[in-house]
Structures are given as C-alpha cells and as structure tokens.
Structure 1
Amino acid sequence: MSAVACLCAAAAYAAGSGAFRTGTDDKVAVPVTDRRTAGYCAALHALLPSRLNGLPRHDLKPRSDLVAGWGRPTVVLRCGVPRPAVDADPDTPAASVGGVTWSFEQDRDGGVRMTTTLRKAYVELYLPPEYAHDAGPLVDLAAPVRRSVPEGI
C-alpha cells in the first residue's frame, strides 16, 4: 500500500481518536529527553532540509535542536517524544517510506500526527489539515532520520 493510501486509511481509522495539537505556528512544546536521545535529535536537526515538500523552514519558539517547523500553517517536527500509546495496538495504521516506518493518528480537526517506530529516538511529525493528505514530507525526512537515528528500541 502506498504512503498516500495509508494516510487516507488513517483518516478513516482515527477520525474519533481525539484532538491533539503539537503546537501553534510560533510556539511548540519541546520534548524532555535523556542525553543519548538528545544526541540523536541534534544529529537529526543538523540534517533537516531547508524545505519540506516545498515548504520553507522557519524557527519555532523556543529554539531547540528538538523541534523544527516548515510552512504556514506550520508542519512541526519534534524529536525525543515519548512512544505513542497507539504503537501498542497492532492495528495502528503505519507506513514505511524510504526505510523509515511511521505510525499515525488523525485529530478531530483533520491534522495528522506521525511518529517513527523502531528507532532509538521517537520523531514526531504533525501535519496540519492542509497538508495531512500528502506523504511528501515523509519522503523528505527519510534520509535524515535514517542517517541520524539508529534503528532499535
């Protein structure tokens, strides 16, 4: 199944899963991590693209190697988040793109939160409703995630 088809399936599956927002256009919650995870996240931050699926990168508040944003409304990446509870459910929708597997949930507003699986640090990507149908960001993030966050749990 293609990543786009998986995203559409996630929309149907998760429509009632509850609302969540990672942050606003300017301010975002920075994850609290241990030193090892922070190292993986700093390495990822250094490799993140200046454009994500054509959207320009911009600073978030507070500035941190654990967060990044692109476009308006903002696509938000957070590194070092806790393992999502939905990952315990074997029926949680997931997609593998460029060698990186992501689980995903949809909020009530139509946005989608995706989180890497089977990596030493969890990387979360929040796509606002305007971008929730597009797998392009996952393609753009595959190489940076593969190169900076080792597989394993």
Structure 2
Amino acid sequence: MLTNINITGIYVLDQDEALDFYVGKLGLEVGSDVDMGFMRWLTVHLPGDPDHQLLLEVPDGSPAHSAETAAQLRDLVTKGATGAVVIFNTDDCEKLYEELSAKGVEFTQEPVRQPYGIDCAFRDPFGNHIRATQRVAGPVDVTDEDIARWSGK
C-alpha cells in the first residue's frame, strides 16, 4: 500500500544554478547530492521536512531519455511547458513575496486573496511554475464571482 509521496522530480537545466535558487533563495536544504556516474542525484527539501523532497533532474540523455528526447525536454523546460508545478505552503504570503522579491525572484503573480487563502506565483530560473499559498482553515466556499475571476471573464 502506498503511504505518502517521498520525492517529486522536476527538470532543471543546471543543477548548480538550481541549488543557488532552491537553497540560496528559497531556503531549502540539500537532501542528497550523489554522483551516480550517469547522472547527479540531487534532492532538496524544506528545513525539518526531509520526507518530502524535490529531485532536481537535468534531462541530459541519461538512460531515462534518448539524446533527442532530452533536447526536447530541455526546450519544454525553457518554455515553462513541462506541466510541472510546485506548490509550497507559507504562513505569510505577503512577507514571503517581499523577501523573495528582494532576492531577485521573478514573480508571475503578486499575492492575491483567494477563497482558500492568499497565494502568489513565481518561476525558477528554468521556467518551472511555483506557487506559495497561505491557506485558511475550515471549509472553503467558492462563489460564481471567484470562478469568473479565475476564468478571466
């Protein structure tokens, strides 16, 4: 029986640059950094939460992908089109926005009040979508007005 998600992989184009972003700017910690010969196994996690890790993987033609597929994946990563979305929880979305903006993180959405809380969106240096959500407790009521706002109508 499955019990939890341990590692989620996202593609990055440069693992050292990814470390600078995820550890240096976001404050995550290195879980594993192992040279496996055919690839570098590099994971990061939130401080105090080593059971939930992000694998920062370079699509480089290792045994998992042909050289042609790896090149296509790198192109999709650059366009932010891999479908990868990382969502973190935060206690204070607006403070997080201020702190990360000061560190040069590029936001695609400033903090916005939603029925479920406050959230914002940014990207890593490679185009991966990241959200930070300050959730509210209890049941969430979604109104027709919320749906219209989300759909841009």
TM-score (norm 2): 0.30
Look at both structures and tell me which one has the larger radius of gyration over its CA atoms: 2
Q: Indicate the structure with greater strand content.
A: 2
Where relative contact order (Cα < 8 A, 6+ residues apart) is larger, the structure is: 1
TM-score (norm 1): 0.30
